[in-house]
Structure 1
């Protein structure tokens, strides 16, 4: 891909299979395992799953251990720019790379890495539509073990307009219905009904993809987002979810519709509900 070509938000397995040998291509597995039980949420690195099976040539990037900030306002908080640049450089991503990200779960960890790359000013990134499941379904070979790319220099240029803090979201809520901002909750409809930030609308991330985990056609996405006012040019979407992960899937879908002004509330409900004084609607 040349500099004059626009990097697609998504690529399919056929495209990736044909381009695996491209010298500038960097394929990154961003798998994380998230589970819930009576004790709450549990997060496990997807490194072991990657070592069992991955797209040939892909390197693994640890979103939890490497790209989250343990001192952030909530779990999964985006790592500082310096840390992000170090981890991506060690993974072989340079300023001229074309990165393709995927995961082997439900796609939202791949979109999380897509969003973090964009947050740091890097746009040459695509999400593998359908992830590892689509790669397997196409009958393509996979690899095991650990693979790496030569280390590179990644330059982070953070775009602060793409991330929102709890204080900033509080200001929106306290101001009442603000015509310039639209809060979009990306959790399931039942979760949304149980409690959400006042003034929010709901676009569940699970409704953005089909049964195989591939992004729905643009026409269907447009209808879904238009129905809640998310395509109104006078309102800037701010997406959120439970922990800032599924919110990035909504941000990516909106980018497919030409909304490149989306911000993600990184702390999401984890941060919002940390103070019981903050209001919830149900």
Structure 2
């Protein structure tokens, strides 16, 4: 089977709804910033039950596809745990392909980003299944075009997950520590400018990882139409950061390794394939008082 694009349009998916080899995953997860600074996160299963793209199955990132015993929520689980649960959704057979979508980044925020979908797609690729795409604009764009939705629950035949872990896609705290000051590695903070500068405190400590540059994950799509900007526009922010240099490695991070995967996906789309995601991100980093942070005035 030919490899599908990293990001597919709503028309592309609509034309393939009846393809027996497609596996559509609704990765909706809801995040809302609380008054205490940190955020609340909950599953999108109820929203899926109310309406979803025909044929889609619900992929519960929070409860079924993250490590249930980890110190922090949304941590990558063991390969055995993830592949067991994702194969039950029909993902893994080499003659199939997957399209993942969500309902947006944050509750009550107009940010246009498919970062929950990109998180799941990144996890699937990390475990070795390559033929997975993200739906541009997700369900909001799909519904704005009056494309069909249903509340009919679907299932796919259980798959046999194939492939091997792609280790370079994943970065640990130690990897990031070693990357600070390395001219061959660009570290990208994917959060909003206020959090990056340290003027807004969401995590245990305010600020950013020393030497990291800020490319806001919400700057890649039109907030009204949810459509991605063209590649020329997408390149601008990443070129300023030096992240498109093919001779350099890029590590992206955010709060919990979600928005970072959207930046990673856009970088891949632009031809930068040496991209890794720091899974623990600032949730882990700021909870370790021995690790440095920088602020900007």
**What RMSD, in angstroms, separates the aligned Cα atoms of the two structures?**
1.3
For 1:96 and 1:124, the matched residues in 2 are separated by 9
Q: Is 1:24 aligned with 2:21?
A: yes
Q: State the match for 2:248 in structure 1.
A: 235
Q: Give the one of 199, 202, 209 matched to 1:197.
A: 209
* Cα 1:265–1:153 shift into 2, 3 Å: same
How many pairs are equivalent? 276
What is the TM-score when the length of structure 1 is the normalising length?
0.94
Alignment of 1:29-68 (within 5 A): 29-39=26-36, 40-68=38-66
Deviates more, 1:74-83 or 1:191-200: 74-83
Q: Is 1:97 aligned with 2:101?
A: no
Q: Is 1:125 aligned with 2:129?
A: no
Q: Which runs of 5+ in 2 are unaligned?
A: 106-113, 199-206
Q: Which runs of 5+ in 1 are unaligned?
A: none
For 1:215 and 1:71, the matched residues in 2 are separated by 36
Q: Is 1:267 aligned with 2:274?
A: no
* Cα 1:71–1:166 shift into 2, 3 Å: farther
For 1:25 and 1:95, the matched residues in 2 are separated by 11
Pairwise CA distance, 1:145: 4.2
For 1:104 and 1:13, the matched residues in 2 are separated by 14
Deviations, residues 129-159 of structure 1 (Å, cap 9, x unaligned): 0000111011111001422112121124111
For 1:172 and 1:15, the matched residues in 2 are separated by 39
Q: Give the one of 203, 206, 225 matched to 2:218.
A: 206
Q: Is 1:225 aligned with 2:238?
A: yes
Q: State the match for 1:8 in structure 2.
A: 5
For 1:150 and 1:118, the matched residues in 2 are separated by 20
